[in-house]
């Protein structure tokens, strides 16, 4: 799949009611999207799969914490000091770039030159770009001209640019709470849902009488003032995270990390139908680790624009709990009554973005069937927003009435769509593009012997079966 497929997916999303550009009547708000009628269903189906996969574990429970929390939470978590992206401005075009993103658009000879200037070993991977950005930031005085000397091109103008020294940009959105801006500290929109879990973990543990190891799962909005938001819904400033924080004994952090790596990568192939060769792990190098992490792996998907992170699995150690303890003055230790042992649990985090999974599922399902001149979204049955399109052959002779009767009998358990406009072929093709797995046609024979034609989306095969067997057929063939 190439980048041109992404444009086709974007256009399909708008045409079929999956995703719309936000505020379109006012010219749009960059990198902001709304989910249409089919989009909300698909998003809900993905999040339900995730939620179920988590809740199937008897020692994992749910939480729904606030988006806005006490400002000290972000002080303790280190987000005020450390949640920064290194950036640079082009002095001519005035365009601003995240440095790792700018570097990912450069030819290898430019990266080679930068590595030589900064004395970094070039391993030709994401870690090399992370190391370059961090070195440029940490030693910005010494290397203020490095980008120019290495010949870094401004993607906007196509010319070798003059660049400002690397600086930091905090990604948190700041706002005020209450009527007076002057009262109290600034409030931030949460950049991750995780902290809401940490500050509640003892309340959850006590109320549910949980014993380590246990997990707390949460789905909710997060906000990051990304310098560059692009690739459709891959990177936006408002997005939804699905995070599960797993609290373990400090001696079990590494084995737990392995356990969750296996579980999480299997989730994608088993529950979302993603081909295994479109998934891989990427381990962060030590220099590129977040301020809280001891070890970190990304699960990456092979998007039309290249490999991109869909989930982070992090060993966050006891960093967050200890920092909250220091700043709040409240004891954040877990007490193991059986062993009479008090400790700060280590936290293994699995953190994924619902919107990225949505895009991944669309990319994986998008198929151009050139032989039959149609576009198909080969969505897994469980994820498809509509499961069956119900079509009376004609708009007369009692066929619509019979079709509506069948619609009503199935729709309660399997979401149906009713369509009586245009030729049957056109009606099926419309639904192929929306990912509807089955089509049913009601014709004159139906009125005589109560049989219908059922068609499968991917194979386009058609079968004549009794109305009473529709659900059985679907369950056996989905």
355 vs 232: CA distance, rounded Å: 10
Report the Cα 186 to chain-centroid distance in Å. 28
Q: Checking DSSP bridges between strand 366-369 and strand 451-456, what pairing results, if any?
A: unpaired
- Residue of minimal CB distance from ligand ATP? 353
CA-to-CA distance for 387 and 478, rounded, in angstroms?
9
Whether the CB-CB separation of 219 and 51 falls below 8 Å is answered with: yes
Q: Decide if residue 309 touches ligand ATP (CB under 6 A).
A: yes
Among 79, 125, 81, smallest CA distance to 224 is for: 79
Residues 423-452 touching ligand ATP, rule: CB under 6 A, are none
Helices 354-365 and 253-272 meet at what angle, rounded to 10? 40
* 292 touches ligand ATP (CB under 6 A): no
Helices 3-16 and 424-434 pack at an angle, to 10 degrees, of 120
Q: How far is the CB of 278 from ligand ATP (least distance, A)?
A: 16
Residue in 16, 79, 131, 224 binding ligand ATP, rule: CB under 6 A? 224
> Of residues 233-262, which lie at the interface with ligand ATP (CB under 6 A)?
235-236, 239, 241
For residues 417, 421, 426, 430, the Cα torsion angle rounded to the nearest 10 degrees is: -40
Stretch that binds ligand ATP, among 144-152, 162-170, 303-311, 371-379 (CB under 6 A): 303-311
* Cβ proximity to ligand ATP, 43 vs 235, nearer residue: 235
Give min distance, CB of 18 to ligand ATP, in A: 16
Rounded distance, CA 217 to CA 63, Å? 6
The candidate with the shortest Cα–Cα distance to 45, out of 415, 373, 301, is 415
Of 61, 63, 78, the residue nearest 322 (C-alpha)? 78
Select 133 or 355, whichever has its Cβ closest to ligand ATP: 355
143 binds ligand ATP (CB under 6 A): no
| Residue closer to ligand ATP, measured from CB, 218 or 236 | 236
Which residues on adjacent β-strands are paired with residue 240? 221
- Phi/psi of residue 465, nearest 5 degrees: -140, 155
In whole angstroms, what separates CA 67 from the centre of its chain?
18
Residue 329's Cα: distance from chain center in Å? 35
Q: How far is the CB of 451 from ligand ATP (least distance, A)?
A: 47
Question: Of 310 and 399, which has the nearer Cβ to ligand ATP?
Answer: 310
Residue from 352, 431, 446, 453 touching ligand ATP (CB under 6 A): that is: 352
CB of 115 to ligand ATP, least distance (A): 21
Q: Judged by CB under 6 A, does residue 312 bind ligand ATP?
A: yes
Q: Which stretch binds ligand ATP (CB under 6 A): 87-95, 309-317, 374-382, 402-410?
A: 309-317
Establish if 295 lies at the interface with ligand ATP (CB under 6 A): no
Q: Which of 38, 132, 187, 310 binds ligand ATP (CB under 6 A)?
A: 310
For residue 170, state whether it binds ligand ATP (rule: CB under 6 A). no
Binding residues (CB under 6 A) for ligand ATP: these are 224, 226, 235-236, 239, 241, 309-312, 351-353, 355-356
């Amino acid at each position: 799949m190439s980048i041109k497929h992404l444009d086709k997916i974007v256009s399909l999303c708008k045409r079929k009611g999956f995703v719309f550009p936000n505020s379109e009547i006012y010219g749009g708000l960059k990198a902001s999207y709304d989910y249409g009628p089919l989009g909300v269903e698909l998003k809900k189906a993905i999040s339900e799969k995730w939620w179920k996969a988590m809740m199937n574990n008897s020692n994992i429970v749910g939480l729904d914490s606030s988006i806005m929390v006490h400002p000290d939470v972000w002080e303790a978590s280190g987000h005020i000091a450390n949640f920064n992206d290194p950036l640079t401005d082009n002095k001519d075009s005035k365009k601003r770039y995240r440095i790792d993103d700018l570097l990912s658009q450069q030819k290898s000879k430019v990266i080679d030159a930068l590595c030589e200037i900064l004395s970094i070993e070039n391993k030709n991977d994401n870690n090399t770009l992370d190391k370059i950005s961090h070195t440029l930031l940490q030693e910005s005085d010494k290397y203020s001209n490095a980008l120019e000397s290495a010949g870094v091109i401004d993607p906007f103008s196509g010319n070798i640019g003059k660049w400002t020294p690397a600086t930091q940009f905090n990604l948190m959105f700041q706002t005020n709470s209450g009527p007076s801006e002057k009262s109290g500290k600034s409030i931030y929109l949460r950049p991750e849902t995780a902290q809401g879990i940490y500050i509640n973990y003892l309340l959850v543990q006590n109320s549910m009488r949980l014993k380590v190891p246990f997990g707390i799962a949460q789905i909710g909005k997060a906000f990051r003032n990304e310098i560059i938001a692009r690739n459709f819904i891959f990177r936006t400033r408002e997005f939804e995270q699905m995070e599960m924080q797993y609290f373990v004994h400090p001696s079990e952090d590494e084995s737990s990390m392995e356990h969750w790596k296996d579980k999480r990568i299997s989730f994608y192939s088993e529950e979302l139908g993603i081909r295994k060769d479109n998934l891989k792990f990427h381990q962060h190098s030590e220099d590129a680790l977040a301020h809280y992490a001891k070890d970190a792996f990304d699960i990456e998907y092979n998007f039309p624009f290249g490999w991109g992170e869909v989930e982070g699995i992090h060993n966050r150690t006891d960093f967050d709990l200890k920092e909250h303890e220091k700043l709040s003055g409240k004891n954040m230790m877990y007490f193991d009554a059986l062993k009479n042992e008090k400790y700060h649990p280590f936290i293994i985090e699995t953190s994924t973005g619902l919107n990225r999974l949505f895009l991944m599922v669309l990319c994986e399902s998008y198929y151009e069937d050139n032989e039959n001149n149609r576009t198909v979204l080969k969505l897994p049955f469980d994820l498809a927003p509509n499961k069956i399109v119900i079509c009376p052959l004609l708009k007369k002779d009692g066929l619509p009435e019979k079709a509506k009767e069948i619609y009503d009998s199935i729709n309660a358990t399997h979401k149906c769509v009713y369509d009586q406009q245009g030729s049957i072929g056109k009606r099926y093709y419309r639904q192929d593009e929306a990912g509807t797995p089955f089509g049913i046609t009601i014709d004159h024979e139906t009125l005589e012997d109560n049989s219908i034609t059922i068609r499968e989306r991917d194979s386009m095969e058609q079968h004549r079966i009794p109305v009473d067997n529709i659900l059985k057929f679907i369950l056996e063939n989905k």
